[in-house]
Amino acid sequence: MYKLSFTYLLLLAWFLTGCSGKESSQGNNQTEAQKEAAKKAPQAMKNILFFGNSLTAGYGLNASESFPSLIQKKIDSLGLPYKAINAGLSGETSAGGRNRIDWLLRQPVDVFVLELGANDGLRGIPPAETKKNLQAIVDKVKAKYPEAKLVMAGMEVPPNMGGKYASEFRVIFRQLATENNMALVPFLLEGVGGVRSLNQQDGVHPTAEGQKILANNVWEILKDVL
């Protein structure tokens, strides 16, 4: 009777140990499976709002040739979870943008790229007024989406606007970027402005090749922001 009980106890212990090992193995496998599933789970899509004028809109070109669309292609090739929204409007001034921004902020904004001011410069609007309008736009974005990352696209005006005006105009973009902790694209049209072959017949709006350079100028700064 004693031997039978002892043998029974050994068998019971062996059985329980085996079950415990299986459960532990299953638990480990489940944990690994959960980790793999987490890696494969799609990341929430974030919005990049490109807010600007005809330079952003890609005036005279197909929508796919504008620099925001070209940046979207870069983003997709890297598998980053961002959607580029082109909110460029031809002829837009800083004052017009100030009035228009509220409507666009109805959608979530995770990254805000501000490209306005060129039309102000061409019209000779006082730089102080342009700066005031751009600051108001930035303030509205901050108020609605305080966690949004901000990027400022710098702009310059042609020398025929006058040296004093040109220098005062150029500096407002760097000032705004510094004062609002914004990443700065020093000059959006770097490598394109004044180059006849890279601009359309009006000499102002970039060609498709010119837009590719704009996309690179912006991407050099934006990639670190993302």
Residues with Cβ within 8 Å of 59's Cβ and at least 6 positions away in sequence, in order, are: 90, 200, 205
Considering 5, 77, 202, 224, which one is annotated as catalytic?
202
Alpha-carbon torsion (29, 30, 33, 39), positive or negative: negative
Q: Which residues pair with 206 in a beta bridge?
A: 199
What does the pLDDT read at residue 161?
A: 87
What does the pLDDT read at residue 54?
A: 98
Residues with Cβ within 8 Å of 57's Cβ and at least 6 positions away in sequence, in order, are: 66, 86, 88, 89, 90
Q: Which residues pair with 113 in a beta bridge?
A: 50, 151
Q: Token pair for residue 89?
A: 């409007």
Half-sphere exposure of 149 (CA within 13 A, CB side): 14
Considering 20, 54, 76, 110, which one is annotated as catalytic?
54
Tens digit of pLDDT at every position of the chain (226 positions): 444 455 544 444 444 455 455 544 555 556 676 666 555 556 799 999 999 999 999 999 999 999 999 999 999 999 999 999 999 999 999 999 999 999 999 999 999 999 999 999 999 999 999 999 999 999 999 999 999 999 999 999 988 889 999 999 999 999 999 999 999 999 999 999 999 999 999 999 999 999 999 999 999 999 999 9
Is residue 205 part of the annotated active site? The answer reads: yes
For Cα atoms 62, 59, 57, give the angle at the middle one, nearest 5 degrees. 85
Q: Token pair for residue 165?
A: 């005006």
Half-sphere exposure of 61 (CA within 13 A, CB side): 27
Distance CA 26, CA 18 (A): 12
| Amino acid (one-letter) located at 174 | R
What does the pLDDT read at residue 9?
A: 47
Considering 66, 94, 120, 205, which one is annotated as catalytic?
205
Is residue 54 part of the annotated active site? The answer reads: yes
What does the pLDDT read at residue 37?
A: 56
